């Protein structure tokens, strides 16, 4: 059985990431930056990548990484979710890295070191197994438009699924238009390629498998991010309701409120087990990884959304203001629930993986 607990090393990693984020990317700073021109804070990315070496956690040392595994990446994702950190970690250190791990290209080492970032040029809502080839390629030149790509605005390189394979396109050759996005802490952009010069990384089945691996890693790690989002929402709501008084009592002493928070806690407790299982399966190369990933996305997305919605509601008026960070979590939770496939898409995937087909058999 997969180990569903956290190791001591993982606990230390978590403490280090949390300390760095509370120092360099506290909620008030995140909130102050979201309407600025820069989508991401370069000092935070430098800390995560170049200083702490977290961009290459899933990459073997022989290929320029830290030689840890997806389990440790998942812990980082939890903390980035808990702090709604604006950083291209999911896009570059998870999805693009997941793609490149399946291939043999020196770009992997560049991403692992954190010196450069990459993004897979697919719409952020793309579920594993459904990546469309949006660009046409001819003589190493790629053309097409991809709407709503995450982590592409700051990426140095785009990994572009094209008709005859997977291409690496330097971002300077792409037109990137920022999208006014629901999630202020992970803004999307539309990408247009007009005869952009590309380097073909793989073709045919190999390209398809690499794209699939990247999206699956993304979906599995996103579950841990969702867990972190949900934990912050629950914790901050509980803290607030212990001190907020109405009718001469702490609001958190009313049973109607307690029961809602207990239900959120149950969901979060389950999400931790489910997300750990997905991370463990991915790290071990376990054949159950596709089921574990679909399960994690079917469960954790809705848990994070519920936790964020309860956070807003139970904070009352203050939860509806711009100055309180609850809305950043609501927006992240809802965007994450759609990212890499909705819970419904993952349930449909599960149905086929576990042999519970939707339709009546043909007579």
Partner 1 sequence: MTDADGLRARVAEFLAIHDHTAMDRLEFLRARFDAGLAWVHYPVGLGGLGAPRALQRVVDDAFVAAGAPDNDPRRIAIGLGMAAPTILRHGTDAQRRRFLRPLWTGEQVWCQLFSEPGAGSDLAAVATRAGRDGDGWIVTGQKVWTSQAHAAQRAILLARTDPDVPKHAGLTYFLLDMTAPGVEVRPLRQLTGDAEFNEVFLTDVRIPDENRLGAVGEGWRVAQTTLMNERVAIGGGALPREGGMIGVLARTWRERPELRTPGLHDALIRLWVAAEANRLTGERLRQSLVAGHPGPEGSAAKLAYARVNQQISALELELLGGEGLRHDDWSMRRESSVDFYGRTPTYRYLRAKGNSIEGGTSEILRNIIAERVLGLPTEPRVDKDVPWKDLPK
Residues lying near partner 1 in the complex (CB under 8 A) are found at 1, 3-5, 234, 238, 241-242, 249-250, 252-255, 257-259, 261-263, 265-266, 269-274, 276-277, 295, 298-299, 347-348, 350-351, 354-361
- The distance of closest approach from Cβ of residue 356 to partner 1 in the complex, given in angstroms and rounded to an integer, is 6
**Tokens found for residue 182:** 């629901």
For residues 60 and 235, which CB has a smaller minimum distance to partner 1 in the complex?
A: 235
- The distance of closest approach from Cβ of residue 80 to partner 1 in the complex, given in angstroms and rounded to an integer, is 22
- The distance of closest approach from Cβ of residue 267 to partner 1 in the complex, given in angstroms and rounded to an integer, is 9
Length of the chain in residues, anyone? 363
- Under a CB-based contact definition with an 8 Å cutoff, are residues 331 and 185 in contact? yes
For residues 71 and 186, which CB has a smaller minimum distance to partner 1 in the complex?
A: 71
Q: Is the C-alpha dihedral spanning 340, 350, 345, 338 positive or negative?
A: negative
- The distance of closest approach from Cβ of residue 285 to partner 1 in the complex, given in angstroms and rounded to an integer, is 19
**Tokens found for residue 239:** 């803290």
For residues 81 and 252, which CB has a smaller minimum distance to partner 1 in the complex?
A: 252
- The distance of closest approach from Cβ of residue 241 to partner 1 in the complex, given in angstroms and rounded to an integer, is 7
Dist. CA 194–CA 174, nearest whole Å: 7
Per-residue buried b or exposed e for 91-115, using 16+ beta carbons within 10 Å of the residue's own CB:
bbbbbbbbbbbbbebebbbbbbbbe
For residues 2 and 136, which CB has a smaller minimum distance to partner 1 in the complex?
A: 2
For residues 18 and 258, which CB has a smaller minimum distance to partner 1 in the complex?
A: 258
For residues 172 and 360, which CB has a smaller minimum distance to partner 1 in the complex?
A: 360
- The distance of closest approach from Cβ of residue 4 to partner 1 in the complex, given in angstroms and rounded to an integer, is 4
Angstrom distances, CA of residue 146 to CA of 99, 161, 218: 18, 10, 18
Q: Going along the chain, which residue ranges are E strands?
A: 118-120, 136-138, 141-150, 157-162, 165-170, 174-178, 188-202, 245-246, 249-250
């Amino acid at each position: 059985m997969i180990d569903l607990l956290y190791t001591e090393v993982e606990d230390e990693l978590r403490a280090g990431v949390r300390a760095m984020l509370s120092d360099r990317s506290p909620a008030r700073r995140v909130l102050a930056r979201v309407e600025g021109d820069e989508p991401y804070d370069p000092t935070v990315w430098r800390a995560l990548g170049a200083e702490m070496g977290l961009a290459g956690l899933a990459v073997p040392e022989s290929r320029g990484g830290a030689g840890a595994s997806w389990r440790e990446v998942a812990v980082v994702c939890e903390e980035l979710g808990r702090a709604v950190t604006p950083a291209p970690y999911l896009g570059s250190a998870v999805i693009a890295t997941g793609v490149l791990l399946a291939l043999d290209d020196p770009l992997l080492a560049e991403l692992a070191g954190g010196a450069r970032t990459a993004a897979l040029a697919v719409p952020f809502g793309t579920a594993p197994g459904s990546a469309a080839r949006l660009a046409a390629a001819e003589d190493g030149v790629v053309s097409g438009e991809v709407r709503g790509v995450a982590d592409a605005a700051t990426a140095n390189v785009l990994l572009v699924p094209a008709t005859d394979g997977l291409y690496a396109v330097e971002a300077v050759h792409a037109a990137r238009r920022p999208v006014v996005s629901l999630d202020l802490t992970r803004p999307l952009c539309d990408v247009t390629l007009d005869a952009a010069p590309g380097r073909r990384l793989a073709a045919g089945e190999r390209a398809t498998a690499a794209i699939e691996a990247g999206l699956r890693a993304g979906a599995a790690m996103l579950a841990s991010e969702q867990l972190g989002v949900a934990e912050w929402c629950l914790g901050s709501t509980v803290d607030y309701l212990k001190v907020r008084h109405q009718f001469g009592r702490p609001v958190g002493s009313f049973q109607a409120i307690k029961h809602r928070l207990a239900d959120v806690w149950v969901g979060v407790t389950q999400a931790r087990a489910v997300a750990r299982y997905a991370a463990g399966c991915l790290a071990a190369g376990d054949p159950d990884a596709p089921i574990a990933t679909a399960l994690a996305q079917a469960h954790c997305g809705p848990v994070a959304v519920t936790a964020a919605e309860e956070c807003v509601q139970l904070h009352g008026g203050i939860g509806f203001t711009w100055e309180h960070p609850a809305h950043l979590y609501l927006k992240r939770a809802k965007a994450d629930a759609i990212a890499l496939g909705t819970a419904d898409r993952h349930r449909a995937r599960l149905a086929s993986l576990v042999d519970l087909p939707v339709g009546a058999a043909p007579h």
